[in-house]
Structure 1
Amino acid sequence: MKVIIFGATGTVGRRLVMQALGLGYQVTAFVRNPQKLDDLPHSNLSLRGGDVLNRNDVREAIKGHDAVFCALGAGRKGGVRAEGTYNIIKSMQEEGISRLICQTTLGNGESWGNLNFFWKHIMFGWLLKAAFKDHEDQEKHIRASQLRWTIVRPGAFTDGPLTGNYKHGFSHHDKSTKLKISRADVADFMLKQLISDEYLNKTPALSY
């Protein structure tokens, strides 16, 4: 399996790279600055420099891969997640690649019902309003793509260890979760989607 990871130097993306290599996949890390991954020398790792906002960069990088992971961060300006994901989708369609696994956020769509007052009104309603809108637009592009996609909606990130013990795909009426998940466990769950169709064209929520 040959996979490409967008947002590979981010807090989730870097863990995706390391765990995918540990599983024996051939990994391409798409990054603006490849030097940021110089500390991960591995025979199965290829570093590809480029700008996700440049369609040609994305299309050239994506050629020949079996699956695509998207863990884009906010970047240097607003709208990077949505615009970058749109470029990824178009490049996948042009190159005949169908499998996309993308990390957005808990609170999108029907999972809004999982959030408490603090996350609804303070964080996403005020402090992270622009970032939340970016994720919403990102999901709209994916849903309209007709790719074989999975949108993973994790709670707030922690630096905790990989446990493999978390809740996923729970109802939007569920108020029992901690609304938190380690970045390592987010990567673990995303990689598991490569060998499962359980959440094909679905939006599983993820939390402890």
Structure 2
Amino acid sequence: MKLIIFGASGTIGKQLVLQALSLGHSVTAFGRDKTKLQEFTHPHLHFFEGDVLNSADVERAISGQDAVFCALGNGRKGIVRSQGTHNIIRAMEKKGIKRLICQTTLGAGDSRSNLTFFWKHLMFGWLLKQAYLDHELQEKYITRSSLDWTIVRPAAFTDGKATGHYRHGFSATDKTLQLKISRADVALFMLTQLSTDEYLKKTSGLSY
């Protein structure tokens, strides 16, 4: 498939690029600075240097793609995730592209109940409050769209290989989670959504 990855230079985005290419997909890596991906070379990898907050850039980059992956980081002013995703959604609807797979965070929406006191009140209630609110608004834009969306809500990121051994789709009251997941496994799970409708227009938590 022809895939575009927004946030391609981030830690999840880089994993998405590498794994998508290994699966034989054609990948467009969207970012403000292509030198951040200069270590990647592949005949099926294309770079689009642009600003996700610029709707014209997003629209040009998205033309002709089969599916869209969103792994935007916090970036400037704490609005990049929500406003960038809003631009992506509008461009997809305009171009008739339906499939969106977006990474947000465990703790958004009803999954807030999965969190410990530390994550709920200290991290997302204080230290990462702006990022958390940005994810909340990001999810609202997605769920109100006409797209065939899947929202993936991973726990705290760790390093490590893609194992495929993780938990997903657990209830919002599950308190047995490790509340961590490798970046490689996040990317693996997101790419797996291309071949299943299990979480079509649904959210899924992701954790060990």
TM-score, normalized by length of structure 1? 0.99
Q: Kindly state the Cα deviation for residue 76 of structure 1 after the two structures are TM-superposed.
A: 2.3
| Deviation readout 1:95-145 (Å, 9 max, x if unpaired) | 000000000000011101100100011000100000000000000000010
Are residues 1:41 and 2:68 paired?
no
Summarize the alignment of residues 103-114 of structure 1 with structure 2, pairs less than 5 Å apart.
103-114=103-114
RMSD of aligned Cα (Å): 0.5
Partner of 2:192 in structure 1? Answer: 192
CA distance in structure 2 between the aligned counterparts of 1:77 and 1:126, rounded to whole angstroms: 16
Asked if the contact 2:5/2:68 (under 8 Å) is kept, the reply is: yes
Asked if 1:18 is matched to 2:23, the reply is no
Unaligned 5+ runs, structure 2: none
User: What do the CA deviations read for 1:68-89 (whole angstroms, capped 9, x no partner)?
Assistant: 0000001122211000000000
Q: Percent identity?
A: 65
CA distance in 1 between partners of 2:88 and 2:152 (Å): 17
Task: Write the letter of the residue equivalent to 2:184.
Answer: A
Equivalent residue for 2:206?
206
Corresponding residue SS for 1:100: strand
Deviation at 1:161, TM superposition (A): 1.5
- Other-structure match for 1:28: 28
Matching residue's letter, 1:89 = I
Instruction: Return the alpha-carbon distance in structure 2 between the equivalents of residues 24 and 11 of structure 1.
Output: 21
Q: How far apart, CA to CA, are the structure 2 residues paired with 1:195 and 1:23?
A: 12
Q: Distance in 2 between matches of 1:131 and 1:18?
A: 26
TM-score by length of 2: 0.99
Aligned to 1:123: 123
Q: Which residue of 1 aligns with 2:84?
A: 84
Question: Which 10-residue stretch deviates more, 107-116 or 64-73?
Answer: 107-116
1:41-76 per-residue CA deviation (whole Å, 9 max, x = no partner) reads 100000000000000000000000000000000112
Contact between 2:93 and 2:146, CA under 8 Å: does it hold in 1? no
Deviations 1:7-45 (CA, angstroms, capped at 9, x unpaired):
000000000000000000000000100111111110000
Task: Give the aligned length.
Answer: 208
Distance 1:124 1:40 in 2: 34
Distance in 2 separating the partners of 1:94 and 1:35? 30
Paired AA for residue 180 in structure 2: K
1:145 aligns with 2:145: yes
**Amino acid across the alignment from 1:191:** L
CA–CA distance in structure 1, aligned partners of residues 39 and 117 of structure 2: 41
SS in 2 for 1:199: coil
Given that 2:50 and 2:58 are in contact with CA atoms closer than 8 Å, whether structure 1 keeps it comes out as: yes
CA–CA separation in structure 1 for the residues paired with 2:50 and 2:17:
17
**The residue matched to 1:203 in structure 2 has which SS?**
strand
